[in-house]
Amino acid sequence: MVIYGVALLSFCMLVGVFVGDILGKLIGVQANVGGVGIAMLLLIFLSNLNDHRLHLGNPTQSGIHFWSAMYIPIVVAMAAKQNVIAALSSGWMAIFAGVAAVIASFLLIPVIARFGPGDQRDT
């Protein structure tokens, strides 16, 4: 049943966000610490139990695949609700700080990617 997949996804999200909130409280910050990441790990873990205890049939999987496929449209809607005006009209300092942070971070990606056992392409 499709709803099994959707419910499994919901379960993962609720557990993840709950654990993330608890983590945030434990270390004393007013934010959710990695809730979505924890939910993703939980979903990966549960879906890999597959053949033994938890078998996900095709309809169940399609309940998850649907939301995965809705990802881009949801991101488009997210873009359309951003406060672009505030970002552009708050003066040069804020824009400058944001732009500089992005450029610095972009530049560091290939540097860090060289460490560790990652992709072996020659560049």
Partner 1 sequence: MILETLANVLAKNALITAFAFVGILVWVSYYLSDKLTRGHVHGSAIAIAIGLVLAYVGGKYTGGSKGLADVAMLSGVGVMGGAMFRDFAIIATAFGAHIDELKKAGAVGAASIVIGVVLSFTVGAIVAVAFGYTDAVSISTIGAGAATYIVGPVTGTALGASSEVIALSVAAGLTKSVLVMVGTPLVAKRIGLDNPYSAMIYGGLMGTTSGVAAGLAATDPKLVPYGAMTATFYTGVGCLLAPSLLFLIVRMVS
Q: Which is nearer to partner 1, 53 or 79 (CB)?
A: 79
CB atoms within 10 A of CB 38: 20
- Residue 100 lies near partner 1 (rule: CB under 8 A): yes
Residues numbered 19 to 78 that lie near partner 1 (CB under 8 A) are 20, 23-24, 27, 29-37, 39-41, 43-44, 47-48, 61, 64-68, 70-78
Contact 4, 60 (CB under 8 A): yes
Q: How far is the CB of 85 from partner 1 (least distance, A)?
A: 4
Q: Which of 52, 53, 55, 106 binds partner 1 (CB under 8 A)?
A: 106
Shortest distance (Å) from residue 48 CB to partner 1: 7
Secondary-structure breakdown of the chain: helix, strand, coil percentages, each rounded to the nearest 5: 70, 0, 30
Sign of the C-alpha dihedral, residues 38, 43, 48, 52?
positive
